Amino acid sequence: MNAVTPADVSTEVRDMALSARVAARKLVASASDARNQALYAAAAFLDERREVLREANAMDMRRASEADLDSALLDRLELTDDRIDAMLEGLRQVAGLPDPVGEIRDMRARPSGIRVGKMRVPLGVIGIIYESRPNVTADAASLCIKSGNAAILRGGSEALHSNAVIAAAMSDGLLSAGLDAASVQLVQTRDRAAVGALLGLEGLIDVVIPRGGKSLVERISKEARVPVIKHLDGVCHVYVDATADAEMALAIAINAKTHRYGTCNTMETLLVHQNEAASLLPRLAEAYASASVELRGCERTLALLPDATAASEDDWVTEYLGPILSIRVVDDIDAAMEHIARYGSGHTEAIVTSDYLRSQRFLREVDSASVMVNASTRFADGFEYGLGAEIGISTDKLHARGPVGLEGLTSEKFVVLGEGQIRR
C-alpha cells in the first residue's frame, strides 16, 4: 500500500461530505417511518453479525494491547456481549422516540395577512469526532438518522475494525429502508489529517460534535472553521444554604461526589453556608473519609476539619474527575453565587435549601447549563432528563446548553403561508 498523503485524505473527506449533503437532502424528504425502520434494521443486521463484530473487536483489542495502550482505554474499547446487547437496545430505543422534525409552532396571522411560524428541521450534515468506545458509532449515528441528519463519523483509530462493522450495519439498515447508505459514513483512514480536513469543510458540514477528553475538544474548537457543539469542563458545585435540611444536604453532597468520580456532572467543589459548616462538615468529612475522598478546604474549612489540606486557587477551577473534593465556607448565597460565577465552568450547580426565595434566586441567577434545587448534580444527563438519549453535553451558551438530545440536532426555520400577499 502507498502512504496516504494529506491531499488524498482531504479529497476523500471532501467527497464523503459531498455524498453526505446529497443524503441529507433525501433524509429531509424521508418519512419518519423509514428512518425508524432503518434503525430497527441496523439493529437486526448487527445482531446477525455479532460474531463478525466480536472478531473485529478482538482484532482492535489485540492491536491496542500490542501498542501498549493503557488498561482504561482497553476497557472502553472492548465489546462484550452485554455491551453489544445494550447497543442494539439503544438503536431500538432511539427508533421509538418521538420524531423531532417537522413540528411547527407559534403559527400566527400577521396584519399583512401572511401566517408566520417556525418549523423544526434537521441541521444537515453532522460530523462526530470521538475516541475509543465503538458503541458511540451506533449511538451517534442513530441520533443523527432519527433527527434527519447525515453523519460523518471519525472514531478512534484503535477502534477502526469494530467501528467499520457497526457503520456497515447502519448503512445496510438505511438501504433496506430505502434510504441513502451515505447517510452514515465512517472515515476509515488512520491518517490524523482527516480530522483537520473535516474541520475545514465550511458550508459542507453544518456542525461538528467532539466527544472525548478536554484536550481533544480544545484542539477541535481551536482548529474548526465549521460550528462546534462542545463540552469542556465540568467543575460542578453544590451549595448548602443556611436553611438546608441537614440529612438532605448530607445525602446530596455525598451522592454528588461519590456516585461516580469520572463523570462531568460530579461535584468538584462544595460550598457551605457559614451557619451550617460547624454541624455539617464534620459529619460529611466522616462519610468522605470512609469513601477515601481527599478534602481540600478554605481556611474556615480547615478550622473545622483539621485533616483536610489547604485548597489553592487552582483547586477552585479544577475538574478532579477523581476522589478529591474542594470545600469552601461562604458567608451567604451571594458569596456562593459569586464563587460559582468566578470559578465555575457553567456545567451544573445545585443549591440545597428550604428557603423559597433563595431557591428562586439561585435558579434564575446562576448561569449554568443545568441549575438544580435539592437534587444531586449527577442528574444532569440526557436519560435522567427524559431526552431519550444524548449525543453529548454542551457547555456552550448558544444553540444547545446541557445534555444534547434530538432537539439539539435540529434548528428552526421560519415558514410563511400566504395567498398572494406582496409587501406594500
| Binding footprint of a copy of itself on the chain (CB under 8 A) | 25, 28-29, 102, 108, 110, 112, 114, 116, 119, 121, 123-124, 206-207, 227, 229, 245, 247-248, 251-252, 254-256, 259, 341, 350, 361, 363-365, 367-376, 378-380, 384-386, 396-399, 401-403, 411-423
DSSP, collapsed to helix, strand or coil, labels residue 350 as strand
Point out which residues pair with 294 in neighbouring strands: 324
Q: What are the distances in angstroms from CA 135 to CA 139, 155, 423?
A: 6, 10, 53
Contact 167, 16 (CB under 8 A): no
DSSP, collapsed to helix, strand or coil, labels residue 404 as strand
Helix H or strand E encompassing 324: strand 324-330
Helix H or strand E encompassing 357: helix 356-365
Contact 373, 63 (CB under 8 A): no
Question: CB 214 → a copy of itself: shortest distance, Å?
Answer: 15
**CB nearer to a copy of itself: pick between 138 and 229:** 229
Distance CA 385, CA 390 (A): 10
**CB nearer to a copy of itself: pick between 84 and 101:** 101
**CB nearer to a copy of itself: pick between 294 and 407:** 407
Q: What are the distances in angstroms from CA 73 to CA 60, 76, 159?
A: 12, 5, 10
**CB nearer to a copy of itself: pick between 318 and 374:** 374
Contact 257, 325 (CB under 8 A): yes
Instruction: Determine phi and psi for 419, rounding to 5 degrees.
Output: -130, 40
Helix H or strand E encompassing 163: helix 160-176
Burial label for 194, CB within 10 Å (0-12, 13-18, 19+), is buried
**CB nearer to a copy of itself: pick between 56 and 351:** 351
β-pair type (402-404, 392-394): antiparallel
Question: CB 166 → a copy of itself: shortest distance, Å?
Answer: 27
Q: What are the distances in angstroms from CA 203 to CA 124, 194, 407?
A: 10, 17, 21
**CB nearer to a copy of itself: pick between 240 and 308:** 240
38-55 in b/e burial notation, b at 16+ Cβ within 10 A? bbbbbbbbbeebeeebbe
**CB nearer to a copy of itself: pick between 55 and 384:** 384
**CB nearer to a copy of itself: pick between 190 and 399:** 399
Question: CB 418 → a copy of itself: shortest distance, Å?
Answer: 3
Question: CB 400 → a copy of itself: shortest distance, Å?
Answer: 8
**CB nearer to a copy of itself: pick between 78 and 384:** 384
Question: CB 303 → a copy of itself: shortest distance, Å?
Answer: 28
